[in-house]
Chain A
């Protein structure tokens, strides 16, 4: 953890940024409502409920109904933020997300809380390492995984402004506030190059971005210049940034997700049709064993050291396959 800690000593729960930003957009726009499945506490929405009880719709433990109601609220002119643990929201209500939200082009914002392995020891039933794969294939549904509190708040604001469906992944796992130049702007579908480098591209999103930056630091000490790309939006993918990564001839993707079908999959699809090059995909290849978040990240190489190793591997393979 020493490299990560060097970025910023303080760690943040992005749900706080989500809740704060949502209250700000709700204050400005009376159409904003929230829909939850008994997830007020886990979505950090007790402040919202206190201010706007009539705009807080708790459907109880009923995710299919929750997403259907979201679609109906949009029909009735509301901007619903449907907020629930990502594993239940995306798994249980996938057909509603497909038909009632994406196919309908409903103005619904889906907020997947504690995604990835946020629930740690609670195990694979509660992990949500499939959501990118399930959702990024749905046309018109933006899929965004913010990296830190600032980007989480920006995503909420951008989602409220965007006419159409958005899925936002909001992590509970502590992350540092990333260093950004003054005036940095966020846009859905736009990647962010947080560090320039010409030897290898590390493409990451969500809580992995801070680790990717730490890996780039470690690589620099060995004389390897790694570019770090924050690909917060998996859909729509920033094609320009993805092609620029392929132009370097060696890519590592890092995500708190399955190694199949997520960010790595999206990049690999692009690269295969553009300029084939080695793509090392870091993530979780299986249902995970019992263990806490930090243990699981260590065990599967989702650490600064693991990312740096994968970068060196991608560089070694450049031009060889």
Chain B
């Protein structure tokens, strides 16, 4: 198990944040190259969740790629499984499988399906894709941890439009009722869904109030700020509720022409657009 960033001193912590930023840029570049090569994918959501995944895998999760099924591992379930490009890029960067395999994304018989499968891809915890599945599964893992008095934490990342699925609220109610303090939900709050703004489609606000009413602890955070995410995701001794982190993000973050554009939910860049994106993603 890698040590948690919270045990590090401030110099190490600054180094960790710098590394997370590097990894997040790499994840974004991988994801766009993968979508470009596959002529298919969900680049907008890949880019909005990239800093969240980088922070989790390089700053929070106690995991070991060489023991991907260690019973005591922390779990990360990506409920918004369509952001598979970002997840695969993260897992490869974290050492679960060679980075070279990313070029097989969605190619015939590749293990890297459009949506993740735990039986094919080391490090994947749940077969997501249909929305509203990740949180109930995460609640189940958290209950198992509670029964066993295990030390692991369970993290689940959903989209914000995804919260229109009713199954999330069944699970939110159960998690609050059971005081699953080992469970953390991170909402990738990019305010866009496939067809339009979430607020114009079926508004999820007031989001924090909803989770508080379901007996969760809620924090709002800049979902592109690794230091703030680390702070928000820290497990506080004595926490007696599940934690909901509303990570405010920009869909398409990091590529100027994709940012906050609903059309890049799915969409494939041209060669010129890809070149520009790569330039922007190596500059910062």
User: A and B from one assembly?
Assistant: yes
Q: Please give the residue numbers on chain A whose beta carbons come within 8 Å of chain B beta carbons, in ascending order.
A: 33, 54-55, 57, 59-60, 62, 64-65, 67-78, 80, 95-96, 99-100, 103-105
Q: In the bound complex, do residue A73 and residue B141 qualify as a contact, i.e. CB atoms below 8 Å apart?
A: yes
Chain B's closest residue to A140 (CB) is B119
Nearest CB in chain B: distance from A265 CB, A: 26
Interface residues of B in 125-149 (CB under 8 A from A): 125-130, 132-133, 135-145, 147-148
Q: A59-B174, A99-B133, A103-B117 given as contacts; is B144 within 8 A of A76 (CB)?
A: yes
Q: In the bound complex, do residue A75 and residue B75 qualify as a contact, i.e. CB atoms below 8 Å apart?
A: yes
Q: In the bound complex, do residue B137 and residue A62 qualify as a contact, i.e. CB atoms below 8 Å apart?
A: no
Q: Is B16 an interface residue (CB 8 A)?
A: no
Interface residues of B in 102-134 (CB under 8 A from A): 117-119, 125-130, 132-133
Nearest CB in chain B: distance from A296 CB, A: 33
Chain A's closest residue to B146 (CB) is A54
Q: In the bound complex, do residue A57 and residue B170 qualify as a contact, i.e. CB atoms below 8 Å apart?
A: no
Q: Give 10 pairs: A residue, B residue, CB < 8 Å, sorted on A.
A: A33-B147, A54-B147, A60-B173, A62-B170, A68-B139, A71-B126, A72-B126, A72-B142, A75-B125, A100-B133
Question: Inside 8 A of A75's CB, which chain B residues have their CB?
Answer: 75, 125-126, 137, 140-141, 144
Q: Is B235 an interface residue (CB 8 A)?
A: no
Q: Is B167 an interface residue (CB 8 A)?
A: yes
Q: A59-B174, A65-B171 given as contacts; is B136 within 8 A of A72 (CB)?
A: yes
Q: Please give the residue numbers on chain B whose beta carbons come within 8 Å of chain A beta carbons, in ascending order.
A: 71, 75, 117-119, 125-130, 132-133, 135-145, 147-148, 150, 166-167, 170-171, 173-174
Nearest CB in chain A: distance from B244 CB, A: 17
Given A103-B117, A105-B119, 20 other A-B contacts at CB below 8 A? Answer: A33-B147, A62-B170, A65-B136, A65-B139, A67-B136, A68-B136, A68-B139, A69-B136, A69-B143, A71-B136, A71-B137, A72-B140, A74-B140, A75-B126, A75-B141, A77-B71, A80-B140, A95-B130, A99-B133, A100-B127
Identify A100's interface contact among B119, B126, B145, CB under 8 A: B126
Q: In the bound complex, do residue A76 and residue B145 qualify as a contact, i.e. CB atoms below 8 Å apart?
A: yes
Q: In the bound complex, do residue A64 and residue B75 qualify as a contact, i.e. CB atoms below 8 Å apart?
A: no
User: CA of A14 to CA of B200 in the docked complex: distance in angstroms?
Assistant: 52
User: CA of A71 to CA of B133 in the docked complex: distance in angstroms?
Assistant: 10
Q: In the bound complex, do residue A96 and residue B133 qualify as a contact, i.e. CB atoms below 8 Å apart?
A: yes
Nearest CB in chain B: distance from A291 CB, A: 34
Question: Inside 8 A of A64's CB, which chain B residues have their CB?
Answer: 132, 136, 166-167, 170
Nearest CB in chain B: distance from A109 CB, A: 14
User: CA of A64 to CA of B139 in the docked complex: distance in angstroms?
Assistant: 12
Q: A99-B127, A99-B130 given as contacts; is B117 within 8 A of A71 (CB)?
A: no
Chain A's closest residue to B166 (CB) is A64
Q: A64-B170, A65-B167, A68-B140 given as contacts; is B125 within 8 A of A103 (CB)?
A: no
Q: In the bound complex, do residue B139 and residue A69 qualify as a contact, i.e. CB atoms below 8 Å apart?
A: yes
User: CA of A72 to CA of B155 in the docked complex: distance in angstroms?
Assistant: 12
Question: Inside 8 A of B119's CB, which chain A residues have their CB?
Answer: 104-105
Question: Inside 8 A of B137's CB, which chain A residues have their CB?
Answer: 68-69, 71-72, 75, 100
Question: Inside 8 A of B139's CB, which chain A residues have their CB?
Answer: 65, 68-69, 72
Q: A71-B126, A76-B148 given as contacts; is B140 within 8 A of A96 (CB)?
A: no
Nearest CB in chain B: distance from A39 CB, A: 15
Chain A's closest residue to B115 (CB) is A99
Q: In the bound complex, do residue A72 and residue B127 qualify as a contact, i.e. CB atoms below 8 Å apart?
A: no
Q: In the bound complex, do residue B133 and residue A69 qualify as a contact, i.e. CB atoms below 8 Å apart?
A: no
Nearest CB in chain A: distance from B136 CB, A: 3
Nearest CB in chain A: distance from B78 CB, A: 14
Chain B's closest residue to A55 (CB) is B147
Question: Inside 8 A of A77's CB, which chain B residues have their CB?
Answer: 71, 144, 148
Question: Inside 8 A of A105's CB, which chain B residues have their CB?
Answer: 119
Nearest CB in chain B: distance from A100 CB, A: 6
Chain A's closest residue to B171 (CB) is A65
Q: In the bound complex, do residue A99 and residue B140 qualify as a contact, i.e. CB atoms below 8 Å apart?
A: no
Nearest CB in chain B: distance from A106 CB, A: 9
Question: Inside 8 A of A68's CB, which chain B residues have their CB?
Answer: 133, 135-137, 139-140, 167, 171
Chain A's closest residue to B128 (CB) is A99
Question: Inside 8 A of A67's CB, which chain B residues have their CB?
Answer: 136
Closest 5 CB pairs of A and B: A72-B140, A76-B144, A68-B136, A65-B170, A69-B140
Q: In the bound complex, do residue A104 and residue B140 qualify as a contact, i.e. CB atoms below 8 Å apart?
A: no
Q: In the bound complex, do residue B174 and residue A69 qualify as a contact, i.e. CB atoms below 8 Å apart?
A: yes
Identify B141's interface contact among A33, A55, A57, A76, CB under 8 A: A76
Q: In the bound complex, do residue A78 and residue B166 qualify as a contact, i.e. CB atoms below 8 Å apart?
A: no
Nearest CB in chain A: distance from B95 CB, A: 21
Most chain-B Cβ atoms within 10 A of its Cβ — which of A70, A80, A100? A100
Q: In the bound complex, do residue B143 and residue A57 qualify as a contact, i.e. CB atoms below 8 Å apart?
A: yes
User: CA of A104 to CA of B125 in the docked complex: distance in angstroms?
Assistant: 10
User: CA of A72 to CA of B126 in the docked complex: distance in angstroms?
Assistant: 8
